[in-house]
Amino acid sequence: MVPLPEAFLRHERVRRFFLRISLLWSLVFFANALISLWMLFNESIGTYLWVRTGLVTALGAAAAAVSVWGFRRCLRHVTGEHAAAPAGAAPAPSAA
């Protein structure tokens, strides 16, 4: 969906992030399926529709928040590694 530079995608921390986020979302969908099946077999249709909707929404929102937080954290670490000035380099001029 978003084109990312090859150098960024080859970074070890980025690869770990995408592996972990894939596992997170697979667990979210698996939990969604388990909750849905359990409720479908054990609750009335009215209860199923109301409760499942709220649970799935909350679970998805929590996973989305963790995803965004994790990606921002990953970006901070990756860009911080590349932004670190080499030893002996002059500091960048500041805009005053």
| Type of residue at 52 | R
**Are the beta carbons of 71 and 17 closer than 8 angstroms?**
yes
* pLDDT beyond 70 at 89: no
Q: How confident is the model at residue 96 (pLDDT cuts 50, 70, 90)?
A: very low
H helices present in the chain, as ranges: 6-10, 12-42, 45-83
Token pair listed for 16: 């770990």
16-25, 77-86, 87-96: which has the minimum mean pLDDT? 87-96
Grouping H, G, I as helix, E, B as strand and the rest as coil, residue 13 is helix
Residues 24-61: tens digit of each pLDDT? 999 999 999 999 999 999 999 999 999 999 999 999 99
What pTM was estimated for this model as a whole?
Answer: 0.71
